[in-house]
Amino acid sequence: MDRPQGRDSSGDMLLQNYRFGKTLGHGSFGRVKVAEHLLTGSKVAIKILNRRRMKSRNKSSEEEKVRRETKICRLFVHPHIIRLYEVIETQAEIYVVMEYVKSGELFDYIVEKGKLQEDEARKFFQQIISGVEYCHRNMVVHRDLKPENLLVDARGNVKIADFGLSNVMRDGHFLKTSCGSPNYAAPEVVSGNLYAGPEVDVWSCGVILYALLCGTLPFDDENIPNLFKKIRIDEDVIQEVVRMGFEKQHVVECLRNRIQNDATVAYYLLSDNQSPVPSGYLGDQFQEPIEYGPVGMHPNGTLNVPDGHQFPQDLRPQLMSETKWVIGLQSAAHPREIMTQILLALQKLNVRWKTIGPYNMKCLWYHGSHNPKGMSSSHGQDNHCVNNESLTICNDYNAQSMVKFEIQLYKTEADKYLLDLQRIQGPAFFFLDLCAHFLMQLGVLN
């Protein structure tokens, strides 16, 4: 028992509803204790965070973690996600009252049992996926999924814990933060590339499934740089091709554009001979190819354009079966040149904008306000920049035909830029229409 003594603030009053028991574990943040909720007799697990210790160590990051976790978990109700019941703040500490899970870590379970039977692994995996799907549906990426963060209760049910590294996704915005355990990290995360969010959790789930079925990790090395090398699979093959005397940038470019030459043939031969031959239902060579249109819409409202449809100038038509999909529009032009092209196209479409940053704008467009022949920009209206307030004022046009959207240019990798358009407000079809006109202006669609 160690209920805090102290001033009778409301936090201390609330703590009197609990009787504290033994410590379950220690984290970077503080400790987790088991407690009894006196009114109901239910057992809970209480995370105790010491404000002073949090401040002295790394104020912003520690506090930020707690805020994130509590903000997200408070709203979540799912059988495979740890419940958060209440947060009690006292002057010295923050008490986070959570669901108590009787057994322990899935990690210990695997270590103890070695690899699991397929039936048991399947049950765990389905439960993990159901919890992760719930997070993603609610726009949260966990980013630190691993057996050490998964609890198994007395009935053998999985509970996802530790949302300290999670993040809220915003439609059309990419994440870059590299976090989580390196063994479970996706190639784009270890390479420091942009990611939308869910895909990094999906990768971690794959690593967990491997660990469940094999009792070992698919990528492991004591040396972190070597571990990263293993995770970036095709990177190794590229290196091998480079050792044969080809220039790296050239190899990457040719692979990306599906150009057949000595370098790419060597690459495919090496990579095919490294990986096991696909078999069974996943390796069916008679599977029907999936056909995609040239430009599509991601369900979250982001515009999808196949790689190779580069803009503004170098448009390379490709066979549909050869298209590799990316989100947004990609270009290798100078970012300032790309922005100029974008602004010119927007101006032609009578779009008004407010600059948020050099590569980020909030835009306003009225459906039907564009001139299909592109003749309207000589209206004496050469400054399309507006201030914040006028973005919400509708003058000549009907408010129902208004589309608000955001434009952001991202740097993806060396000399590659990605343009993303995101609808903020207004009918989705009008936004699609805007996108189509915009692509036509840029010369991507004809």
Answer for the pair 159, 153: CB distance below 8 angstroms, yes or no. Answer: yes
Question: For ligand 6Z2, which stretch binds (CB under 6 A), given 119-127, 143-151, 218-226, 335-343?
Answer: 143-151
Distances (CA, A) of 370 to 133, 377, 436: 40, 9, 12
Tell me if residue 382 is catalytic: no
By the rule CB under 6 A, 100 interacts with ligand 6Z2? yes
The one catalytic residue in 8, 108, 119, 144 is 144
What is the per-residue binding string for ligand 6Z2 in 149-168, x denoting contact by CB under 6 A?
x-x---------xx------
Provide, rounded to whole angstroms, the least separation between the CB of residue 252 and ligand 6Z2.
40
**Residue 171, C-beta contacts closer than 8 angstroms, at least 6 positions apart:** 300, 301, 302, 422, 423
Closer residue to ligand 6Z2 in complex, CB, 166/330: 166
Provide, rounded to whole angstroms, the least separation between the CB of residue 291 and ligand 6Z2.
44
Among 49, 88, 94, 101, binds ligand 6Z2 (CB under 6 A): 101
Provide, rounded to whole angstroms, the least separation between the CB of residue 130 and ligand 6Z2.
18
Provide, rounded to whole angstroms, the least separation between the CB of residue 31 and ligand 6Z2.
8
**Residue 403, C-beta contacts closer than 8 angstroms, at least 6 positions apart:** 364, 365, 366, 367, 423, 425, 426, 427, 430, 431, 434
Distances (CA, A) of 141 to 126, 132, 150, 202, 208: 18, 8, 15, 10, 16
Considering only residues 38-77, where is the footprint of ligand 6Z2 by CB under 6 A? 45, 47
Q: What CA–CA distance (Å, rounded) separates 440 from 446?
A: 6
Q: What angle do CA 224, 229, 235 make, to 5 degrees?
A: 160
Provide, rounded to whole angstroms, the least separation between the CB of residue 275 and ligand 6Z2.
33
Peptide bond into 317 cis (omega under 30): no
**Binding-site residue total for ligand 6Z2 (CB under 6 A)?**
16
Tokens of 336: 């300032």
Closer residue to ligand 6Z2 in complex, CB, 95/219: 95
Cα first-last separation, the chain: 73
By the rule CB under 6 A, 110 interacts with ligand 6Z2? no
Any idea which residues carry the catalytic annotation?
144
> Which positions lie near ligand 6Z2, rule CB under 6 A?
24-25, 32, 45, 47, 82, 98, 100-101, 104-105, 148-149, 151, 161-162
